[in-house]
Amino acid sequence: MGRLDVLPTGDLGIKNGIYALYQLEEKPTPDEIAVIAQTNQWHPYESVASWYIWHSLDNKPAVS
């Protein structure tokens, strides 16, 4: 969509990625994701940061 500053706090992939990246004890809530983004200065590129986090999960389909 061409928008660089969108933070998908409800996206399961983002939750899983942040959980793994920051080695959290529990999956983060949307509010916790927003705080992590703010603390780590993702603005104005929250979409870019989210893309990298999502792709860090290596969500490739299994080969049979």
State pLDDT tens for residues 26-63. Answer: 999 999 999 999 999 999 999 999 999 999 987 666 66
What was the pLDDT predicted at 26?
97
Mean pLDDT computed over 4-31: 95
Measured between alpha carbons, how far is 3 from 16 in angstroms, rounded to an integer? 22
Residue extents of the structural domains in the chain? 12-55
Q: Collect contacts of 55-60 with beta carbons under 8 A, ≥24 apart.
A: 56/17, 56/20, 56/21, 57/13, 57/16, 57/17, 57/20, 59/13
Percent of the residues in the chain that have a pLDDT greater than 70, as a whole number: 88
Q: Alpha helices of 1-64 — where are they, by DSSP H? A: 12-21, 30-39, 46-55
Angle, CA 36 vertex, CA 35 and CA 40 arms, to 5°: 115
